Amino acid sequence: MLTEDDLFWKSMGVTFAYVFLTIPLKLAFALGIAFVLNFKLRGIGFFRTAFYIPSILGSSVAIAVLWRALFAIDGLLNSFIGVFGFEAINWLGEPSLALTSVTLLRVWQFGSAMVIFLAALQNVPQSQYEAAMIDGASKWQMFMKVTVPLITPVIFFNFIMQTTQAFQEFTAPYVITGGGPTHYTYLFSLYIYDTAFKYFDMGYGAALAWVLFLVVALFASIAFKSSKYWVFYSADKGGKND
pLDDT at position 236: 41
The CA-atom distances, in angstroms, between 97 and each of 69, 71, 94, 100, 121 are: 15, 10, 5, 5, 35
Q: Which amino acid is at 148?
A: V
Residues in contact with 114: Cβ distance below 8 Å, sequence separation at least 6, in sequence order: 29, 30, 31, 33, 34, 37, 51, 52, 55
pLDDT at position 237: 45
CA 213 to chain centre: 18
pLDDT at position 107: 94
pLDDT at position 2: 77
Q: Which amino acid is at 117?
A: F
Handedness of CA 185, 189, 192, 198 (dihedral sign): negative
Q: Name the CATH topology of 2-241.
A: MetI-like fold (1.10.3720)
Radius of gyration of the chain (CA): 21
The domain ranges of the chain are 2-241
pLDDT at position 238: 46
Say how many Å lie between the first and final Cα of the chain, rounded. Answer: 49
The CA-atom distances, in angstroms, between 36 and each of 24, 31, 89, 138, 159 are: 18, 9, 33, 17, 20
Q: In whole angstroms, what is the distance from residue 14 CA to residue 154 CA? A: 28
**Burial classification of residue 33, based on how many CB atoms lie within 10 Å of its CB (0-12 exposed, 13-18 middle, 19 or more buried):** buried
DSSP codes joined into one string, 169-230: --HHHHHHTTT-STTTT--HHHHHHIIIIIS--HHHHHHHHHHHHHHHHHHHHHHHHHGGGT
- In the predicted model, residues of the chain with pLDDT beneath 50 are 235-238
Q: What does the pLDDT look like over 25-67, one tens digit per residue?
A: 999 999 999 999 998 888 888 888 899 988 888 778 889 999 9
Residue 18's φ and ψ, nearest 5 degrees, are -65, -45
Q: In whole angstroms, what is the distance from residue 57 CA to residue 38 CA? A: 23
